[in-house]
Amino acid sequence: MTEQEKRPNFIVRTWRWFWNLMTQPAAKFGAGFLVLIGIAVGIVGWQAKMGIVKATSTTAFCLSCHEMEAYVMPAVAEGVHWNNASGVRAECKDCHVPEAYFPMMMVKINASLVEVPGHLTGKIGTQEKYDAYRPVMAERVWDQMKANESRECHSCHSWEAMSEDAQSRPAWVMHQRAQDQGQTCIDCHKGVAHGITPRQISEMREAEEAE
């Protein structure tokens, strides 16, 4: 047997190197190696986390909850954001999940601490419960959108992109006035996506008080 034949092949040598690397005391390795391992673990962890965030932001995931599919989606499907002449559809995440990292994570944390427990306990698990709690949910979202100046709306809509020729004269005048007065989308367009307006909420509460 020649000297070359006596040498372990590449696979064996690689395996021995890797085994020694994994089994020898950490003190024998330099700080640089440990840092590289930490970076690799961090990258994998970050990608896994963002993958989960992306998966749980899809409309399909939202509709996996019974109350979302049965009570929320019918109203959304009738709105202009879901079916329109241009064929551009706003998914759940476009309105409810911010693009910026920290606001996005705050939404996800809130979902974990509030919305998931609410789903598990059946807080809006029936049509009656949903109808009773719907005004509270609507006003909460409107307040959030008012506070962030309709941030998610502006991810698709902008004053600069509005065409005067493509709007009716009253709509154009109202949009110009709103811009001049520092108003934001939600000031005038409450209920455009979920089919419930402030007037309807007032009527619902008046009916409850009359009972």
The string of pLDDT tens digits covering residues 12-29 is 777 777 676 666 655 555
How far is the CA of 76 from the CAs of 57, 71, 156, in angstroms?
A: 17, 10, 18
The encoded tokens of residue 63 equal 């509709």
Are the CB atoms for 73 and 67 separated by under 8 Å? no
Mean model confidence pLDDT for the chain: 88
How far apart (Å, rounded) are the C-alpha atoms in residues 156 and 21?
52
Residue 81 pLDDT exceeds 60: yes
Which domains does the chain possess? Answer: 49-155+200-211 (1.10.3820)
pLDDT for 129 equals 95
Strand, coil or helix: 155:
helix
66 phi and psi angles, rounded to 5 deg? -55, -45
Are the CB atoms for 90 and 193 separated by under 8 Å? yes
Task: Output the pTM of the full model.
Answer: 0.77
